[in-house]
Amino acid sequence: MEGPTGSLQRAAVILDVFEGADRLNLSQVVAATGLPRTSVHRALEQLVALRWVYREGMDYQLGMRMIELGAAAAQQNALRRAALPTLRRLHRATGCVVHLGIRDGSEAVYLEKIGGESAPLVRSRVGDRLPVATSTIGKALLAIDDSADVDTPEISRIRELRLAYDPERCLKGFSCVAVPIGRIGGTDAAALSVFGPADRVRDKRMMSSAQTAAAEIWRRIGSGGLQQVP
């Protein structure tokens, strides 16, 4: 009989396949995981019973329990809670999409996204991962790191200005600015970004608003675990 550890590992492999996918059928899950078809089917049906996965006809997608757990985890995140009022005000003031992100190794992870309903081309979502070396918010996160391996001229300038700016890097007519916030508990770096029409984002008042927002988030949570950017 398969032990609990094996069952959990198999379930984790299957659930990972649904990241970034709306719905998948059994064959697609089997192909993505490389696991035996009978094992995948049995595991999927167990996950359906637990509400971790939802089945409609022959297709599967992440279930309500996953959404509930994800929402609960986000609500419990001290950084996100502290940042939300400021992020919402920044979105209302700029009319742009605002993201909150943290560094996880070589990747930036979005903890929150405000806006974007009227901009269908902006496909970012909470949980998305971007390379820190090339993404705007990733560069802002790297600026918090003072180790020698990230001390490039570009990162040094971002650290000095407290601002990363990428004009029309990922979408023509749109630009992004990002501002470092600080370190969570002295380890994980946090930053925010503003994405919108290029002419609006490159306005100095916009950039100043983003910097002010980052400083406000730092002040709100600084006594509770964030360390200020050196």
The verdict on pTM exceeding 0.85 is no
Judge if 23 and 132 occupy the same domain. no
Cα 53 to Cα 99: distance, rounded to the nearest angstrom: 28
> Which own/partner contact pairs does 153-162 have at CB distance under 8 Å and 24+ positions apart?
159/229, 162/211, 162/214, 162/229
Whether residues 102 and 8 share a domain: the answer is no
Residue with tokens 């919402």: 88
Q: 29 or 222, which is more confident?
A: 29
How confident is the model at residue 216, as a pLDDT?
Answer: 93
**Do 19 and 115 belong together in one domain?**
no
Q: Assess whether 86 and 187 both reside in one domain.
A: yes
- Based on the fold, state whether residues 174 and 95 are members of the same structural domain: yes
Which CATH number fits the domain that encloses residue 82?
A: 3.30.450.40
Query: Percentage of the chain with pLDDT > 90?
Result: 48
Any residues with CB less than 8 A from the CB of 13 and at least 6 apart, and which? 33, 35
pLDDT tens for residues 168-220? 676 778 889 999 999 876 567 899 999 988 888 889 999 999 999 999 999 88
Instruction: Check residue 119 and report its DSSP letter.
Output: -
Burial of 40 (0-12, 13-18, 19+ CB in 10 A): buried
115 and 209 in a common domain: yes
How many helices and strands, by DSSP H and E, does the chain display? 9, 10
Instruction: Give me the pLDDT at residue 152, please.
Output: 86
Same domain, 96 and 20: no
CA atoms within 13 A on the CB side of 20: 7
Assess contact for 27 and 17: CB atoms under 8 A. no
Amino acid identity, residue 86?
A: T
- Specify the pLDDT at position 225: 45
Across the range 83-104, mean pLDDT stands at: 93
The residue out of 46, 69, 92 marking a domain boundary is 69
Domain match, 120 and 57 both? no
User: Do 112 and 223 fall within a single domain?
Assistant: yes
Split at pLDDT 50, 70, 90, the class of 85 is: very high
Residues 54 and 83 in one domain: no
Q: Which of 69, 103, 123 is the last residue of a domain?
A: 69
Per residue in 17-58, pLDDT (tens digit) is 988 778 899 999 999 999 999 999 999 999 999 889 999 999
Mean pLDDT for the chain overall: 84
Q: DSSP code of 229?
A: P
Most confident of 2-11, 116-125, 148-157: 148-157
Count how many domains the chain has.
2
Q: Are residues 65 and 130 in the same domain?
A: no
Q: How confident is the model at residue 73 (pLDDT cuts 50, 70, 90)?
A: low
Domain final residue, candidates 15, 41, 69:
69
Say whether both 110 and 206 belong to one domain.
yes
Residue 12, domain extent: 4-69
Residues sharing a CB contact under 8 Å with residue 33, sequence separation 6 or more, in sequence order:
13, 14, 17, 40
**Residue 35 in 3-state DSSP?**
coil
CATH, residue 30: 1.10.10.10
